[in-house]
Structure 1
């Protein structure tokens, strides 16, 4: 039993649920992205997102409490006030998504890409027909590439980019339409 009287499995499940709830917000996902390369104060985050600082502070505190953001040493702001900068820890990359997480990631991507000139967005769309082994190979190889780039040190003078990769069953191409095998993608992605 843990100190709170819960079995270790229940405690671990509660922690995963709390992490999933913390990430279930497009605003929080965008805050994490902003704090990936540079430590930013609550005021700086609010300015970049054009949001109320009090609202942003609530989200920042949630991300700090769950270990997705880490506070760095306080500094003096432009008016002499004490400001705490925050930096993303990278934990969100290692955290399994809960139900609905795909929707949050898609919505976050759509919010961010809406800020960019469409000519500056590289996109690819590909239709495939794969068996279980092919699906596993594809997800594994893509995961390896993304993991490789995620763990590389940032290039200090490099241009910041965001990558979004999605894989879904093409229900319009299924015969008969809408197969019952929807769990196969979830299984392949959870193994990656």
Structure 2
């Protein structure tokens, strides 16, 4: 994650939406059409099309080969490029949290594994902790996608504790 580059204004705007972040997650590892994305999100395909076009225009989604749907309609599936993993977008933090909360609300509580940890770390220890977390995330992000394996999601936040001065 050390190789993250700053997002351009258009990239940052594209990622400043919980809905767009959810679209990227839906299209991660498997291409989906606008209609399929809308069905997963319970939204109107026309409104989803606007968002997919924004994500395509900014390079976060890649259109795949056109195909014909059940009634012969032209369909274009989209696949996430994983470009957002390599960008630094500070303004995305709230959108990412909103997307996480929306997705988490759809998961049965017994299937959620949570942990909350309070730490007191000196600067050197905090730096080591961050480095080790980044290395672990990079290691697993670099693994090839196995479409036969169950899909998992991880949301991790490290922040100063406002409750313990």
TM-score bucket (shorter structure):
over 0.9
Return the match for 1:119 from 98, 110, 114: 110
C-alpha RMSD of the superposition:
1.3
CA distance in 1, matches of 2:23, 2:124: 37
Matched, 1:65 2:93: no
Q: Aligned equivalents of 1:166 and 1:20: distance in 2?
A: 19
Task: Provide Cα deviations, 1:111-145, integer angstroms capped at 9, x if missing partner.
Answer: 00000011100111111001221111111111111
Give the alignment's TM-score, normalised by structure 1: 0.81
Please, which runs of 5 or more residues in structure 1 have no aligned partner?
A: 1-11, 175-192
In structure 1, the residue matched to 2:152 is 161
Q: Hey, what does 1:18 align to over in structure 2? A: 10
Contact 1:17 1:98 in 2 (8 A): no
Aligned-pair distance for 1:156?
2.7
Which runs of structure 1 show a deviation greater than 6 angstroms over 4 or more consecutive aligned residues? none
Q: Please give the secondary structure, in 2, of the residue aligned with 1:70.
A: strand
Larger radius of gyration: 1
Superposed counterparts of 1:1-192, under 5 Å: 16-99=8-91, 101-174=92-165
- How far apart, CA to CA, are the structure 1 residues paired with 2:9 and 2:109? 36
Residue-pair matches, total: 161
Alignment TM-score, normalising by the size of structure 2: 0.94
